[in-house]
Copies of this chain bind each other. A is one copy, B any other.
Amino acid sequence: MCQLLGMNCNVPTDICFSFEGFRTRGGLTDVHKDGWGIAFFEGPGCRVFIDVEPSAQSPVAELVRHYPIRSKNVIAHIRKATQGRIALENTHPFQRELWGRYWIFAHNGNLKNFAPILDGSFMPVGDTDSELAFCWLLQRLRVEFGHAMPLRKPMFEFLTDITHEIAAHGEFNFLLSNGNCLYAHCGSKLAYIVRQAPFATAHLKDQDVSVDFSEVTSADDRVTLVATLPLTDNEDWITMTPGTLTLFHDGLPVMNASTA
């Protein structure tokens, strides 16, 4: 299994504090040592850092930890390989372009007997069930909506349907973003927290590190963090209901639907 971390905000925010705790689960406080990755949207642009080294030791993770990249949408993943060998092409998050936007996807779970028929518009490079699910999902979106990005509501409804179909094949927790909003599907395990004024001090679960958010934020800032397991031990994370797709925008959950 793997672990997911996502962030969605109303102003570009750095994820250094959360990443600090998350990365130690890749080989130090937990067993997810088969590679890791993180994608930052900056406007429509996106940069993806991936590495097959455990995130607790990776020089690239060291950079990410110290280089405060400010982003409104971030998706990170640490891997414990289930399907697909340890290789760069099997390392999440995955990136594709659709409708002139980059799309980023990371998956935690395991899909069985999942062999959708691809039309060639999006093909996996590696051999994970995760990348296959991502390609299938994008193909379905393109077939459904043609060559222009749909409005938020029909897009969310259609994504709920596809997610329901794919989730029939097994555990399917995922994070998906196009840089504008963050889709989070809780198949079995996912939690989130909205941080907004009045900001308080948060303390990491995986390391004895605290940050007083009131010192580093403005009154209007709003930040949602989504993670497989809560990252802090003194805040009230909301456990998501298995079989739920949630859309986050500007740091708030704005749509919610059952995929069960």
Interface size on A, residues (CB 8 A): 39
In the complex, A142 Cα to B48 Cα: how many Å?
Answer: 26
- A248 to B: closest C-beta gap in Å: 22
The answer, yes or no, to whether A219 is at the interface (CB within 8 Å) is: no
In the complex, A126 Cα to B63 Cα: how many Å?
Answer: 26
Do the beta carbons of B47 and A47 come within 8 Å of each other?
Answer: no
Do the beta carbons of B100 and A124 come within 8 Å of each other?
Answer: yes
- A141 to B: closest C-beta gap in Å: 12
CB nearest neighbor in B for A67: B59
Please tell me which stretch of A87-95, A207-215, A233-241 contacts chain B, meaning at least 4 of its Cβ atoms lie within 8 angstroms of it.
Answer: A87-95
In the complex, A121 Cα to B47 Cα: how many Å?
Answer: 21
In the complex, A257 Cα to B210 Cα: how many Å?
Answer: 61
The A85-137 residues at the B interface (CB cut-off 8 A) are 87-91, 95-102, 119-126
CB nearest neighbor in B for A99: B123
A45 neighbours in B (Cβ, 8 Å):
50, 87-91, 125-126
Given A44-B89, A121-B121, A125-B100; A60-B67 close (CB under 8 Å): yes
In the complex, A48 Cα to B91 Cα: how many Å?
Answer: 13
- A124 to B: closest C-beta gap in Å: 6
Given A60-B67, A63-B63, A67-B60; A87-B43 close (CB under 8 Å): yes
- A42 to B: closest C-beta gap in Å: 5
- How many copies the complex holds: the figure is 2
- Which of B44, B90, B142 makes the CB contact (< 8 A) with A125? B44
The answer, yes or no, to whether A199 is at the interface (CB within 8 Å) is: no
- A135 to B: closest C-beta gap in Å: 9
Do the beta carbons of A125 and B147 come within 8 Å of each other?
Answer: no
The answer, yes or no, to whether A16 is at the interface (CB within 8 Å) is: no
CB nearest neighbor in B for A98: B123
The answer, yes or no, to whether A19 is at the interface (CB within 8 Å) is: no
Could you list 28 A-B pairs, sorted by A, with CB under 8 Å?
A42-B87, A42-B88, A43-B87, A43-B89, A44-B126, A45-B89, A45-B91, A45-B125, A45-B126, A46-B88, A46-B89, A47-B48, A47-B51, A47-B88, A48-B48, A49-B49, A59-B63, A59-B66, A60-B63, A95-B95, A96-B97, A97-B123, A97-B125, A98-B123, A99-B120, A100-B123, A100-B125, A120-B147
CB nearest neighbor in B for A121: B121
A88 neighbours in B (Cβ, 8 Å):
42-43, 45-47
